[in-house]
Amino acid sequence: MSSASSSPSAFPPGFVLRDAVRADLPAIVAIYNSIIAGRMVTADLVPVTVAEREPWFEAHRNPARPLWVLADPAGEIAAWLSFDTFYARAAYDGTAMLAIYVAESRRGQGLGRALLRTAVARAPALGLHTLLGYIFGHNEPSLRLFASENFSRWAHLPRVAVLDGVDRDLIILGRRLAP
């Protein structure tokens, strides 16, 4: 059974959460690239290619750092979530950073919240005790989402990013999970 197989009640009817496969990478990259121009979610400034994302995809073959896709009833990728390594030292193996991206046509439907809740629920089975979100200080919707799911502000890194000549803060939100 896949680490991401979903219960029927977690997502809208007909949606399926599953581990990403290589054939999903173009859709994953397309969703990611659609976010870049808004300057709210990622520090990438130009679109990435599928080839550039292949090493990242391979890193998510690690069962403790999965990459999940949420497919709509037509089989199209509506959203994705990755568990990313926080810091490559053994003492931090139980901590992961979450990245959630929702296709533009699917935003505002609660998919990000459902993905976040599912990640929190399943993280202990992945050997994780702590989850982090790295969110720009001006990304109020994402800050509210994580806060509503009991993530707290653990760090504020002022003016660490420059987006189109504007200094931006990074907020690190964290949540320690019950054993």
> Helices 25-36 and 50-59 meet at what angle, rounded to 10?
110
Q: What percent of the chain has pLDDT over 70?
A: 94
* pLDDT surpasses 50 at 8: no
**Under DSSP, is residue 20 helix (H, G, I), strand (E, B) or coil?**
coil
Instruction: Give strand pairing partners of 156.
Output: 171
Cα–Cα distance, 163 to 165 (Å, whole number):
5
141-147 CB contacts, 8 Å cutoff, 24+ apart: 142/40, 142/41, 143/171, 143/173, 145/112, 145/113, 145/116, 146/116, 146/173, 147/173
Over residues 53-98, the pLDDT tens digits come to 999 999 999 999 999 999 999 999 999 999 999 999 999 999 999 9
Cα–Cα distance, 35 to 12 (Å, whole number):
23
pLDDT at 1: 34
Q: Which residues contact 43 (CB under 8 A, 6 or more apart)?
A: 161, 163
Over residues 92-146, the pLDDT tens digits come to 999 999 999 999 999 888 999 999 999 999 999 999 999 999 999 999 999 999 9
pLDDT at 42: 84
Mean pLDDT in the chain?
92
Which H/E stretch holds residue 39?
none
Residue 10 pLDDT grade (very low, low, confident, very high; cuts 50, 70, 90)? confident
Cα–Cα distance, 6 to 49 (Å, whole number):
29
Cα–Cα distance, 100 to 171 (Å, whole number):
15
Q: Which of 60, 52, 96, 58 is nearest to 80 (CA)?
A: 60
Model confidence, pTM? 0.92
Residue of higher predicted confidence among 8 and 38: 38
